[in-house]
Amino acid sequence: MGGVQPVFFHVDVNSAYLSWIALKRLEEDPEGVDLRTIPSAVGGDESRRHGIILAKSVPAKKFGIVTGEPVAQARRKCPRLVLASPDFRYFNTQSNRLMQLLKGYAPEVYQFSIDEAFCDMTGTRKLYGDPVEFALRLKDEIRDTLKFTVNIGVAPNMLLAKMASDFQKPDRVHTLFEEEIPGKMWPLPIGDLFFVGKKTAAKLNSVGILTIGDAAAADRRMLSNYLGKMGDMVWNFANGIDDGALLSRRTPDNKGYSNETTTGEDVTDIETARMILLSLTETVAVRIRADHSVISTVSVYFRDDHFVNSSRQITLADPTDITDVIYENVCRLFQGLWKGQPLRLLGVSCSRAAEKGPVQMTLFDNERNEKLEKLNAALDSVRARYGYGSVKRASLMKQENRARTPDEMYRKDQHT
């Protein structure tokens, strides 16, 4: 790079799901209340046993409401909490708008999740001037044109940019250059270090490592012996060293369709995992059908609480765009891959996309798929007109009550 200093932005949407659902409601009713200004949250139906909070407003946070807690528990903390259902199709639309805006400025954009991305701004000073001043202008442009706010972290590597963007929120730009690490990062609790969860933080606390600075000053070999692979990562991250783990965290290379979510709390039970995977599958399948495509490969992937990635894929006998067929294979893959370890991220990916055309099927498959295609078409039509949350699949509600595969759901529904 000829001596040019690397510069990275980490762009993170403030309370993304809550901000986006608030924006959607204001588009539908400009005179309505902005959910961002009142105690509100995005989460599951309160009548469901496993409904959780996906995102909350700043006023809701003041009541102690946290992402990942049961909706019923949040309601006890704040009886007047306004709860909104998620609209994943709309969320994807807003995410795509943000990524397109960023790609108009950054030479390289690495989408990290649905609501955050890294921008490699190295060598752009001559184009945009001082990186921090440009980050301020970019933040304001996102707020003024897309109507939601972001935090931007500015740093010499992805890790430090990620840490910087998590400083005071919302609608802020923060820097974390190497000389700022001792003053800005080391005093923070060890649990604030990227990807150090509650269990790892508790283990580190038990040996006297309370802050990020404590981990930075600790013996690296001791951390490695104590935490295994996670120990090396903790030492590197605490010292501001980006070991490439963040870049490898991106969704598997895929020319098809994918969606993933980072959970607020560890996922430890099969029912919750299947609910999340069904929501992800729904959004992926909607996009496949919108492109009049079919896919031949289905993948599921996850990351556990020890920063270990796992994935598995299957090639289908017949290409498909049917949610239930994709989800059936997602469940089969997940059950064969997951060993019960706590999960922090889950994702679904579909690839080997092709234009939809006639498919040779057995008589049973043809009858079944015709019914499922009609169901998908009806759901897509209603959601396109009234929003993703306007209709809920019966299979999703049944899945929340008892874990079953779509094939089990289909067979049971045919006899009721």
Which member of 31, 69, 108, 116 is catalytic?
116
What gap in Å lies between CA 379 and CA 374, rounded to an integer? 9
Packing angle, helices 406-413 and 323-337, rounded to 10: 130
In terms of Cβ atoms closer than 10 Å to its own Cβ (0-12, 13-18, 19+), residue 79 is: exposed
Q: Which of 221, 330, 195 lies closest to 276 in space, CA to CA?
A: 330
Under 8 Å CB-to-CB from 316, ≥6 apart: which residues?
A: 295, 296, 297, 298, 325, 329
Q: Are 173 and 154 in contact (CB under 8 A)?
A: yes
Packing angle, helices 16-28 and 88-103, rounded to 10: 100
DSSP class of residue 304 equals: E
Cα first-last separation, the chain: 67
What gap in Å lies between CA 165 and CA 151, rounded to an integer? 5
Q: Are 75 and 38 in contact (CB under 8 A)?
A: no
Packing angle, helices 198-206 and 220-227, rounded to 10: 120
**CB-CB neighbours of 1 under 10 Å:** 7
Q: Which of 36, 43, 72 lies closest to 57 in space, CA to CA?
A: 36
CA angle 383, 364, 292 (to 5 degrees): 35
One-letter amino acid for residue 47 of the chain: S
**Could you confirm whether 373 is annotated as catalytic?**
no
Q: Are 382 and 393 in contact (CB under 8 A)?
A: no
DSSP string, 16-71: HHHHHHHHHHHHH-TTS--GGGSSEEEE--TTSTT-BEEEE-HHHHTTT--TTSBH
Count of residues in the chain: 416
Catalytic center residues: 116
